[in-house]
Structures are given as structure tokens and as C-alpha cells.
Structure 1
Amino acid sequence: MFEIAEARNGILYISDSDNRIQAIYPNGQEKWSTQLASDQDLSVFNLHLGNDGTLYAYSSDILYQGSGTTVFALSEEGAIKWKLESDNIISRFEGQFSGDVSGNLIYFTNEGLVSRNAQGDINWINGDITTSPPVEYNGHQAQVFTDLQGNIYVDNNKQQIISLDPEGNERWTSQPQKYLDSFNTFHPFFSSTGSIYMLTDKGLHGLDSRNGQNRKAASLFDYDDIRSSGIPTDGQGGYYISIRGSIQKIDANGNSKWMYIPRESEKYGVGSLKPLATDSKGNVYFPTGVGNIIGLDSKGHEIFAFLRNGFWHRITEIVIGANDNIYSINHDIGIVAFGLKGVQVYSDNLPLPLSVKPINEKGTVLVPFRSLFEAYGMKVAWDSSSKKITGSKEGLRLELSIGSRTAYVNGNAMELTEAPRIANGSTYVPLRFIGESLKKKVSWDGKSQFVNIDSD
């Protein structure tokens, strides 16, 4: 396996050396597998997710034959929308392909920047936006990104950032961004309020996406907005970055707060070219050259280590799921998921959002009732005097009482394996009873401690 990408709903997409793309649910179940090609030797497909959910798989033969790029566009269900083979495409690697909210693919060619739609037809070509061919290693390799409004952002060899609208027309060109250089390439993070954040060894930088104006330092401290962009941060003014082979936490001004000291076995370095991965608690995770995966807390202390200490270099990629699980692929052992010990609940193989962690009581899984009821469209009522819980929707009414193992389904008494309870300020109900009352199949994986509520 060579590449991993995560969709907003948590589904993982993986490419492998057999030119196959797989979609994996976050509980490890396969959604689909698509064979892209079988006649290309050593053709590794990289992955990019468009903002509309289209998955682009692209492969360049530059490493083996010196030219040629193949691009596939796949639907969320694994169907191939279109295929393009061209010697005219200059885009080769991460950051040189981008997909927008309309299913268009944006990339560089010998003719300029191109937008190609979901049917595979060219929308437009902007001949003023160019980059150096990949064989010119001393030339400027421009990057291209799109925001959720479909606007396009490209850097040039003058350290400027150029923004285009979805039709390929220029919106603005920024002042030279002096922090961009051969070590700190253009990689924007788009926030929910329209800010563009960038992180380099010189600190945190911001632009206004509407006009390209630099944001003042005093305005770079809205941590909720910063976190919404997905930038690697502890959420408290610290930022994680891989700087010339070292992992550091820096502040907004680029001052180092700490540096991770690798083990002696890390003979091939730590970190990767991609931004570091962080979870909701502000911990940071990164791969190393010998196949290890390290997790650090905001103070730089190790909280997690998966050690392989491979004799040869290991290609390892990681993403952090919405449930804070760590998903890792390695080119010789496949995909592995790590997470905190305890029960995890999935609905149709996707994480079910719960306000607090489930409880496993003698084999019965109990979950917070309000999260569960509302997830399945039930109206919730709580009577504090009688301590009665009621959940209702068309054709179904459930009644449970704290401490009682007798529940009622449309007025009919049912016995529970465990009574509802109040613990740590939350009210818990037995998951299997609720799921089966909703006419859903509830399955339990004892090895991983996963519960899945299946609609089928």
C-alpha cells in the first residue's frame, strides 16, 4: 500500500502496488475495491480527494520512464468516471492536483493551468498560470489548492499567491510572501470564516481569502477559527511542524517551544513532507523512516509509539480519524488502526457521534440515550421526577426507567439485560435493545470492541 486519504465522513481510500483502489470504513470493513489498470508495471497511484467527494487517482511514470501521467476520477461508490493519459500534464506529486466542489480537477499542463469537469471534459485553460516541468529540478514547482467555494490558489516563482475564481479568472495576487522558500512551500489551510493560514518555520501566517491581504499578527489568535482550518495545532497557540527532519512545536512567531529527540534506531529520519497529523486533544502523530509511528502530547512527551525499527526504509502514511483513531498504511504490512482501549460504536460502519464514551457492563454496551435517540431521528423526553426516558418516532415509542430492567416498546413490556443508569452526569441505556427496537441489526466485534448498528 502506498497512499491513504480520508473523506469527511471518515471513509479511508487506499492505493496499492497492484493499481487497485480500496474504500475502507473506519471500522475496517471494505466498502469497495476498484482495479484501475493491470498493464503498468511499478505504477503507483497517488490519491487526492476533491471537495465534492470525487476521488482522483493519478500516477506519473517519471520515476521509471521519464514522462507520462495517468489520471482516474472515481465516484464515492468506486465507479470510474473518466480516465486521462497524457504526456502534456506537468503535475506529478502531492499539491499539484486539486479537486473543487463541483467535481472539477485542477492541474498543470504544458499549456497552463487546466480545469477538467466530472465528465472528463476541459472547462478552461489559463495559460498565464504555469509551473516548471518536473525534470527541471531547479525550477519552481508551483502548488494548487481549492477552497470550499471553488476558488483556486496557486503560488508563483515571485513568492506571490494568485487566486482564481471557479471559471479560471484572476481574483487577486498577493504581495510576495517572504516566508515561502525551497524549504517552506505553499500549503494553505482554509478556515470556516474565510481565512487562509500557512505554517512555516518562521511561524503562522494568514491571508484574507477575499482580497489576498496579509492578516495582522494581532488577528492570528482566534484559535477556534485556526483549528477549523485543520492546521496542526495544540489549540492553545502552539503549532506542530516538521523542520528539516526534526519535529518541533513552535509559537505563532516561529519560536521553538520544544524539539523531539528521536531514538537512535531512527536512522532514516522522522516526519514526512505532508503536514503533521493532530487529534481533537491537541496531540500530534508522525511516521518515521524505519516504519515507526510516534504520538506526542502538547508538551512533547511520548504518549504512543508503534515500533518496527525496520532494517530498510519503510514508506508509512498516517491519518487521524474523526473518532481520534490513528490509521496507518505501510508498504509491506498493509493498513493498521490504533485507538484508545474501550468500546466504539458505528452506524452502518461509520462512527456514531456520542456525547460521552460507552460503558461495557458484563457484555452489555450502554450508551448516552440522547445521542443515540437523536441520531436515529427520535424525539426525546426525560421526566426527572419519575426518572423515565421516552424516545418516539412514527410507529415507535420506547419507554425506559432508571434502575428498572423492564422497558416498553409501543406499550409492550420487554426485559433488559442491564437497567438504564446515570453515571458521571450522563444517562445510559442498553444499545442492543434500542438498535433492535429500531429494526436494525446490532453486531459485536469482541477483538476490536466495535459495535455496529446495521440498517440492513
Structure 2
Amino acid sequence: MGKTGKSAKVLFCVLIILNLLVLNYAGIYAQQSYPYHGKRLNYNKTTPIDFITYDVYGQEANKLPKFVNPGQFDIKWRYDIDLPSNAIKGPNGTIYLISLDGVLYAIDPNGERLWGRKIKSYSNLTLCPDGTIYAVSQDSIIDTDAQSKAEVYAFNQKGNEVCSYTIKNPISYYGGYCLAGDEKGNLIIPTEDGIFSYDKKGNLNWKNTDILKMEDTFSIKYSNVQSIRAMSSENIIIVTNDKVYSLNSSGKVNWSINNSYFGLEIYSNELGYIYNRDGKYNIADTKNGHVLTDAEIKKLNIKDFPSKTSWAGGYYYNNFLTDRKDKNYNKGIVSYDNNNKVKWVYTVPSGFNGYACDIAADMDGNVYFSDYGGNLYSLDKDGNERYMFLRHKSMMSSSQIIVANNGDVVWITDEIGAICIGTKSIRVLIDDEEVNFSNKPFIDSGTTLVPFRPVFEKLGITINWDAKTKTISASNDELTMTMQAGSKSCNVNGSKKELSVAPKIINGSTYIPLRFISETTKKEVSWDQKTKIIYIGSAEQQIKHIVDQFFSYLNKKDYKGINSLFNIDELTDVDDSYRVIDKALNGVLMCNDIKVQININSDIKATAQTSYNLTTAKGFNLYNTENITTTFNFVKTQGRGWKISSVSK
């Protein structure tokens, strides 16, 4: 037999062996009862995101993030903050977080900065039910020889400082303070001398010196306190390595139970239950410390315990099912139903970096998590991949995930700051007030269609609907109009008009072209491609909105957003010019106290005179430059509304 024949025979044998190995490998998986997740996305079809990102040394990164499957999802906003951390969400959706240089930010659900306050050093945050925000800043590393202190800052939700004071020898649990705030605005914090409670003026309420024990790990002091939760001022839950305690408003023990699981994860709700996971659920009543029996647990439903990782159909957890021989198997998450049974298992794609962390779920069962490589994942309730935001960092990366009140996801991560990702949707504002729709507007072949009734009624127009003929009648003091679903012809004030798209009935709502509203009501209509917002109002309102957006984008260092406000026919290189401005104004916190005076010069020309104050920071000092003036020149473009043509000082 020649070399070719021998090679073919060897190849044939190798293929048989490989086939047997594959079958055997598949057999190993087939023996398990845990199903795999649903469909994966095509990772080759990605959209680069033009974010300016920086590495830990402050150097501009040359590797752009990528968005997998952005078709039905969108990055709604980004707030550029250097290495943000310790983010928390308030009940109204406001997000509070701290930057590397020690600025506490408050950001509203639309990504707008409400306020920023300079504090000292790296800090931890907690939010009290009464709205008090505590930031506890650590000045020095806690070790066996050095004494440490921490600055405590208390703010209300408007950013006004309530008080500030210093505490000695605060202690952490593996890198972070254990903080809690009760409904009276009291701060509960552990120190080397015990667990302390302070009121909003910095006065000591009580201290407990019996529970906290100090431990040395690699010459660094830690306490046995893992977490603190304030169910109320009369029921402060303290979780340690070996016990769970409840303290009253005097710092005395209400009850205690044994805790044999190191690293207890505690979840609590208004029902007064907590539970941890150490192979099974251990559930106790926080009112009295009674540990529920198996029979009592069976009467409960997991959905009674709302937490960051649960929803009505079950909950999600890190994948620690290591009984398979797949090295990548435990890099992912597990979906459990309400009876603690595995529904499906998700493993990160081959070659992706690290294990699932910071898992969060929304009310529909969609789950979000990140990995050590800084990648963000979103799956639906059946384990199908919805989208991914990929960075593939070689260095370990940390992130936080917050599910916003409207269902969007805010992802806080180093280098990028805070970004909001959600399904693409169109909003409509009339005279600066948002229109509420049961059925959302959408774009069809380049034409924006909106439900006519909510828009016309918001404009003060009376609507009548003839279901038999599918005819719409609309009228007010200045308008009389009729149109019919399926027909492009309509009658406006006795004159025949043609619509670009015939009215459509979808899910019980009749949709009409947005541009027709402008033509019939004489209102200005503009479309913000960046934010997906339709603005209907006067020319002055349109221009005021653009100026507000300009400063909002500038404060967030959103250069693409700035570009979207300019007339592209006159645009030179605004993107690069504003990057230069941003670098020149190193340390800028924000432009504030903005005043605008608008002059409409003609049907297509306008100017806006603005004055504002500029706040910068150097070290721990803030500097204000007042009454900076800027002139914006505007031009009304065909089909795109008012746009900035130039800016001058």
C-alpha cells in the first residue's frame, strides 16, 4: 500500500476514534438530567460601539466594544464616569454611584445627571427608606498596625448635605463596608469596637460589642460580620460567619440562630423572611427567628421572596453544578423553577473569560449577568440569548447590573461608565409633556407611525370613531378633519389631502403618519435619532430642547450625541473638536445653571444665546467659572427639523 493509501487509512481510523469520542462525550451529557439552554446568537455578526474607553492606566483603549444582536435592542444612554462603583438604585429609579476620584453622582432614569458631590476617597453607599443617602469613605487601609478612620457623608435626594462626621476603625468584609440604613435615617456600621448606630446628625444611638469579632487574614483585619440588613429600626439583621442575629433599636439581641454556611447570601422582603442557599433553602422568620420546617417551607412559594435574581417563574443562580467533565460547564448560570428544580443550564461560549457574576432578573424572567472579562449577557426565560455586549478584556473586570423601573438594564462597569440597554421604543413629547401609549409608535419603511387618538387628544382635538365605516373625525376651533383606515385620501378643513401612508389599524389602535400631525395642526415636529424621541411643539420649544440636549451630551461626554444635533450638511468635524475641548477641560464635572434666550429670525433661521456656569475639580477642591456665554445658530432642515449650524463664543 502506498503512502496515500496508508494516510487515508490512518485518517479513516482517526475519524472513527473521534466519532466514538464525540458519541461517548455526548453520552456523558445525555446521562445528566440538566437540559441545556436555548438558542445561541451569531457572534460573528456584531456591531462595534464607538465608545472612547480607557484602561486602568488612563490610556485610551484601541479595542472597541461590540454589540451582538442590536437589532431590537439599543444603547439608550451612556454616562461616562471613571471607574464607577458601589451603585445603588432609589425607589424612583435614580441611580447613585461613586467615581474613582470620589464624586457621588445621582443619575435619573433617562441618564441625566441630577447632581454630583465631591467626597473623599473610595466610598461605599447605602440608601435609607426615608431617602437619606450615606457615603462612607475610607482614608487608609486597615491593617494590624495602623489605625484607620472613615468620613461619613449624609445627603438627601436633592443632593443637599445633611451632615458629615468621622468614625474610627471601620471594618470591612473582604473589601467593602457592611452598611445599612433604617426608616428613620439611622446608619448602622461595624467598627473594630463593635456595631454602631448613628442618627442623621452623627449622634450615637447605640452600640453592640458582643457580636462582632475581629479576624486576621494575610495581615489584614476583617470582622466576622458578613452583611447587615435593616428590616426596621427594631429589627436589624446581622449576618456573621456562624450566626444570624436580630437587634432592636437599643442594639440588644432580639433573637439569634446558627448559620453554618460561610458566605451566607441573605434576601429579605416585607413578609419578614430571609433565606440562604447551602444545598437547600434555610428559611427563618425575621420577626422571631423561627426556622421553618420542611413542611412549612413547602407551603411557601419562591416568588414570595423577591430578590435581584428571582421572578414569578423561579430564580437564577451561578452554575456550580460541577458533575460534568466539561471544563466550561460551570461558567454560566442555572435556571430553577419555584420547586427548586433545574429548568435549564447556560454555559458561556467557548473562549469567553470567567464565571457568571452579578446576576439580575426582570419581571418577565429575562436574566442579565457579566463575566470576569467584562462581557454582558442577556437571556430570556427559556435560556435563549437575547443580546451580548462584548469587551473580552484580558484583565479581570468588575461590573454591576441594575434593572431599571421601566425594564431597561443599567450596566455599571469600569472604563465605560454607566450604560443603559433596552428594547428600541419611540417616545412622543407634546409641549414637553410625554404622551402615554397602550400601543407604541413604530417606524415602517422610513415613516414614523403613531396612534392618532392619544396624540390628537393631547393637542386638545376632539376625536370621533365610526367603527362601521372605520372613519376618524377630528375637530377643534381651528381644525375639521376626516380620514378612513386603509385610504391615503383625507379631508382637512374642506380641502382634500394625501397621506404618505394610509392609516392602519393594529391591535385596536389606528396609526397615522407623524408628519401629517405637523401638517394639520401647524405644530413643529422633530425627531431625535439618538434618544428615539419625537418632539411636538413650537419652534422655541424645539430649539430649547436641542440646547438642553447639547449640554446634557457635553456633561456626559457623549460626542455622538452632540453630532446628532448638528446639520450634517454644515458639519465639519465636531466629533474631534469636542474631544479636544474635553481633554483641554480636564477635571470638568458639569455645565450648570444654564440660561437660554431664543430669537426666531425667520421661518428657517434662529439663534439661542446661552449663559452657564462651569464646575471643575482639582484634587478635593471645586472651582466654578460663572457666566460663560455661547451663541448657537440654528437652521430648519427639510424633513429633520431644527439643527445647529454653528456655535460661537
Please, which of 445, 457, 463 is the counterpart of residue 400 of structure 1? 463
Cα–Cα, structure 1 residues 118 and 400, in superposed 2: closer, same or farther, change >3 Å? farther
> Does 1:163 pair with 2:251?
no
Partner residue, 1:140: 224
State the Cα distance separating 1:283 from its structure 2 match: 1.3
> Does 1:331 pair with 2:414?
yes
State the Cα distance separating 1:233 from its structure 2 match: 2.0
> Does 1:50 pair with 2:134?
no
Please, which of 346, 364, 367 is the counterpart of residue 260 of structure 1? 346
Structure 2 stretches of 5 or more lacking a match?
Answer: 1-82, 321-329, 466-470, 482-491, 493-498, 518-523, 546-649
Residue identity matched to 2:201? Q
Please, which of 81, 89, 92 is the counterpart of residue 162 of structure 2? 81
Report matched runs for 1:230-245 at 5 Å: 230-241=307-318, 243=320
Write out per-residue CA displacement over residues 31-81 of structure 1, whole angstroms, 9 at most, x where no aligned residue. Answer: 1111113xxxxx322322222222222233455886333322221111222
2:530 and 2:297 map into 1 onto residues whose CA distance is 49
Partner residue, 1:210: 287
Tell me if structure 2 keeps the 8 A contact 1:98–1:145: yes
Secondary structure in structure 2 of the residue aligned to 1:318: strand
> Does 1:270 pair with 2:333?
no
Partner residue, 1:380: none
Partner residue, 1:247: 333
Alignment: residue pair count? 408
Tell me if structure 1 keeps the 8 A contact 2:133–2:154: yes
Report matched runs for 1:231-380 at 5 Å: 231-241=308-318, 243=320, 246-251=332-337, 255-267=341-353, 269-272=354-357, 274=358, 276-344=359-427, 355-359=438-442, 362-363=447-448, 365-366=450-451, 369=454
1:452 and 1:95 map into 2 onto residues whose CA distance is 45
Residue identity matched to 2:411? S
> Does 1:219 pair with 2:299?
yes
CA RMSD after TM alignment: 4.1
1:60 and 1:349 map into 2 onto residues whose CA distance is 43
Report matched runs for 1:101-116 at 5 Å: 101-116=183-198
Cα–Cα, structure 1 residues 236 and 368, in superposed 2: closer, same or farther, change >3 Å? farther
Cα–Cα, structure 1 residues 8 and 340, in superposed 2: closer, same or farther, change >3 Å? same
Tell me if structure 2 keeps the 8 A contact 1:367–1:429: yes
Secondary structure in structure 2 of the residue aligned to 1:83: strand
Tell me if structure 2 keeps the 8 A contact 1:114–1:125: yes
TM-score scaled by length of structure 2: 0.54
Please, which of 94, 109, 112 is the counterpart of residue 26 of structure 1? 109
Partner residue, 2:205: 123
Cα–Cα, structure 1 residues 95 and 61, in superposed 2: closer, same or farther, change >3 Å? closer
Secondary structure in structure 1 of the residue aligned to 2:472: coil
> Does 1:98 pair with 2:180?
yes
TM-score scaled by length of structure 1: 0.74
2:287 and 2:157 map into 1 onto residues whose CA distance is 31
2:137 and 2:472 map into 1 onto residues whose CA distance is 60
Tell me if structure 2 keeps the 8 A contact 1:270–1:289: yes
Cα–Cα, structure 1 residues 205 and 303, in superposed 2: closer, same or farther, change >3 Å? farther
Tell me if structure 2 keeps the 8 A contact 1:48–1:57: yes
Partner residue, 2:635: none
Structure 1 stretches of 5 or more lacking a match?
Answer: 38-42, 373-388, 435-440
Q: Rg bigger for which structure? A: 2
State the Cα distance separating 1:305 from its structure 2 match: 0.7
Cα–Cα, structure 1 residues 447 and 167, in superposed 2: closer, same or farther, change >3 Å? same
State the Cα distance separating 1:132 from its structure 2 match: 2.7
State the Cα distance separating 1:186 from its structure 2 match: 3.9
Cα–Cα, structure 1 residues 304 and 390, in superposed 2: closer, same or farther, change >3 Å? closer
1:347 and 1:358 map into 2 onto residues whose CA distance is 14
Cα–Cα, structure 1 residues 188 and 354, in superposed 2: closer, same or farther, change >3 Å? farther
Cα–Cα, structure 1 residues 280 and 429, in superposed 2: closer, same or farther, change >3 Å? farther
Write out per-residue CA displacement over residues 99-149 of structure 1, whole angstroms, 9 at most, x where no aligned residue. Answer: 111111111123322111122222222233324357566862331101267
**Bigger relative contact order (CA 8 A; separation at least 6):** 2
> Does 1:187 pair with 2:266?
yes
Residue identity matched to 2:383? G
2:229 and 2:432 map into 1 onto residues whose CA distance is 30
1:367 and 1:133 map into 2 onto residues whose CA distance is 67
State the Cα distance separating 1:265 from its structure 2 match: 3.5
Residue identity matched to 2:188? I
2:172 and 2:124 map into 1 onto residues whose CA distance is 12
Tell me if structure 2 keeps the 8 A contact 1:285–1:293: yes
2:332 and 2:505 map into 1 onto residues whose CA distance is 47
State the Cα distance separating 1:443 from its structure 2 match: 8.1
1:308 and 1:261 map into 2 onto residues whose CA distance is 18
1:207 and 1:349 map into 2 onto residues whose CA distance is 50
1:353 and 1:124 map into 2 onto residues whose CA distance is 49
Cα–Cα, structure 1 residues 300 and 421, in superposed 2: closer, same or farther, change >3 Å? closer
1:105 and 1:6 map into 2 onto residues whose CA distance is 18
Secondary structure in structure 2 of the residue aligned to 1:312: coil
Secondary structure in structure 2 of the residue aligned to 1:217: helix
Cα–Cα, structure 1 residues 399 and 188, in superposed 2: closer, same or farther, change >3 Å? same
State the Cα distance separating 1:16 from its structure 2 match: 0.7
| Structure having the larger proportion of residues in helix | 2
Cα–Cα, structure 1 residues 206 and 7, in superposed 2: closer, same or farther, change >3 Å? same
1:321 and 1:400 map into 2 onto residues whose CA distance is 35
Residue identity matched to 1:284? V
State the Cα distance separating 1:219 from its structure 2 match: 2.4
Write out per-residue CA displacement over residues 349-408 of structure 1, whole angstroms, 9 at most, x where no aligned residue. Answer: 999986554446844644985xx9xxxxxxxxxxxxxxxx989xxxx9763334536344
1:76 and 1:337 map into 2 onto residues whose CA distance is 21
2:452 and 2:202 map into 1 onto residues whose CA distance is 46
1:301 and 1:163 map into 2 onto residues whose CA distance is 41
Residue identity matched to 1:117? D
1:214 and 1:353 map into 2 onto residues whose CA distance is 47
State the Cα distance separating 1:330 from its structure 2 match: 1.9
Cα–Cα, structure 1 residues 429 and 62, in superposed 2: closer, same or farther, change >3 Å? farther
Write out per-residue CA displacement over residues 159-187 of structure 1, whole angstroms, 9 at most, x where no aligned residue. Answer: 3x2222344343332x3244xx22x4242
